[in-house]
């Protein structure tokens, strides 16, 4: 676009490293991906609460919450889903630059779209966490009644039913919410953060 040629990135006088030192943590993006009903939001908010209890600066970017405001102009076509994730990636990057641990919970069904987001970050700044849960278990939970509507044909292009979900082939971490408790899942993510930061949270 023509306007993009006439803008310049304005750098802060405070670096990301300085913010990290102030907060006593390494900022990072934890990207939770999985089917609807797999437990992404549950894990995300439980993780946020645990990190906050340890005095960490953190924030959850949740799929439904984002579509209430920032991305409420987007639908669920493949192109709109891609744009939804692109915007979230850029927002997550800003949060991370502010020294925050970002927890992003999005179905993000396509591998190429997740790669697009990953490419926004430097090596080590993006942790892909696959929330592994079978379709049958997600349908049985169906906390929002979406699978029932999708099976009835009321929701087109629904991931797992009438649209594909491409599971990550090499995520940094895989969590099995079908067989592990919320506490166990959160502990796994924290252990990964501790390993990367070489410190105890």
Q: For residue 11, say whether it is annotated as part of any ligand binding site.
A: no
Residue 82 annotated as part of some ligand binding site: no
Identify whether 108 is a catalytic site residue: yes
In angstroms, what CA-CA distances link 61 with 86, 88, 121, 132, 194? 13, 8, 17, 19, 21
Out of 3, 11, 27, 108, which one is annotated catalytic? 108
User: CA 148 to CA 144: how far, in whole Å?
Assistant: 9
- What is the 3 state secondary structure string of 51-65? HHHCCCCEEEEEHHH
Q: What does the alpha-carbon distance between residue 84 and residue 13 come to, in Å, rounded to a whole number? A: 30
Query: Exposure pattern of 164-192 as b/e (b: 16+ CB <10 Å)?
Result: ebeebeebbbebbbeebeeeebbebbbeb
Q: Is 37 annotated as a binding residue?
A: yes
Residue 40 in marked binding region:
yes
Annotated ligand binding at 124? The verdict is no
Q: Is 36 annotated as a binding residue?
A: yes
Q: Is 41 marked as binding a ligand?
A: yes
> Residue 70, annotated ligand binder?
no
Q: How far is CA 134 from CA 45, 166, 177, in A?
A: 21, 13, 9
Q: Which residues are part of a known binding site for ATP?
A: 34-41
Residues forming the active site: 108
């Amino acid at each position: 676009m023509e306007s993009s040629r006439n803008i310049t990135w304005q750098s802060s006088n405070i670096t990301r490293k300085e913010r990290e030192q102030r907060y006593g943590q390494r900022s990072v993006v934890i990207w939770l991906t999985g089917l609807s009903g797999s437990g992404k939001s549950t894990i995300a908010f439980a993780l946020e609460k645990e990190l906050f209890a340890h005095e960490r600066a953190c924030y959850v970017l949740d799929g439904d919450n984002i579509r209430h405001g920032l991305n409420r102009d987007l639908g669920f076509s493949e192109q709109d889903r891609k744009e939804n994730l692109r915007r979230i990636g850029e927002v997550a990057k800003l949060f991370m630059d502010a020294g925050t641990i970002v927890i992003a919970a999005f179905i993000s069904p396509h591998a190429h779209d997740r790669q697009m987001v990953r490419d926004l970050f430097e090596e080590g700044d993006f942790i892909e966490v696959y929330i592994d849960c079978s379709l049958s278990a997600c349908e049985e939970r169906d906390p929002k009644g979406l699978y029932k509507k999708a099976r009835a044909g009321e929701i087109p292009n629904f991931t797992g039913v009438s649209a594909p979900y491409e599971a990550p082939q090499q995520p940094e971490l895989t969590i099995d919410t079908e067989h592990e408790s919320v506490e166990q899942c959160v502990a796994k993510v924290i252990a990964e953060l501790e390993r990367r930061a070489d410190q105890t949270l």
